[in-house]
């Protein structure tokens, strides 16, 4: 999936969680966008990889692409770190929600993800989406509609 899909997926998922909880919607959506990009720190050409090239190169050298950073283990480690050092729970939940959306979205690609890393099992859904395809653009449009809906709802309520 492309960066825009991961950003909008993270924002849409976080907005949905914020709608059904008492977490601050703005904190959730901003942190969801960051979380939506974070797993791709392992890829030098990604938005995160270009922003943090040294870190990206190290992570890619150690683990490769779509392995450790696309796993439940990485999600748990980031959750533990955020719970220790992040005083705003909405940010922690937003980042983890965005990361979860990223992993789920990449599970719809042909290459899938190593969800149970370090075990060498690749997880992917039976129906896959080609990166940059019309279907992916339709998915991004759907996420955008969800974000607009919840943003209007949040403004109306608050």
Cα distance between residue 144 and residue 158, in whole Å: 21
pLDDT in tens, 26-75: 999 999 999 999 999 999 889 999 999 999 999 999 998 899 999 999 99
In our burial notation (b when 16+ CB lie closer than 10 A, e otherwise), range 9-45 reads bbbbbbbbbbbeeebbbebbbbbbbbbbbbbbbbbbe
Task: Check whether 158 has a pLDDT greater than 70.
Answer: no
> Helix or strand or coil: residue 115?
coil
pLDDT at 157: 73
What is the CB-side half-sphere exposure of residue 36 using CA atoms within 13 A? 25
pLDDT at 156: 85
pLDDT in tens, 119-151: 999 999 999 999 999 999 999 999 999 999 999
């Amino acid at each position: 999936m492309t960066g825009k899909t991961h950003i909008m997926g993270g924002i849409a998922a976080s907005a949905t969680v914020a709608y059904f909880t008492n977490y601050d919607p703005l904190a959730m959506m901003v942190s969801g966008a960051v979380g939506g990009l974070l797993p791709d720190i392992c890829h030098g050409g990604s938005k995160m990889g270009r922003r943090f090239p040294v870190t990206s190169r190290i992570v890619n050298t150690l683990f490769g692409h779509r392995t450790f950073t696309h796993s439940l283990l990485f999600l748990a480690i980031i959750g533990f770190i955020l719970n220790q050092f992040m005083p705003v729970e909405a940010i922690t939940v937003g980042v983890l929600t965005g990361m979860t959306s990223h992993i789920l979205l990449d599970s719809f690609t042909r290459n899938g993800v190593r969800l149970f890393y370090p075990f060498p099992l690749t997880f992917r859904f039976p129906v896959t989406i080609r990166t940059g395809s019309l279907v992916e653009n339709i998915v991004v449009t759907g996420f955008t509609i969800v974000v607009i809906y919840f943003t209007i709802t949040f403004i109306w309520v608050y």
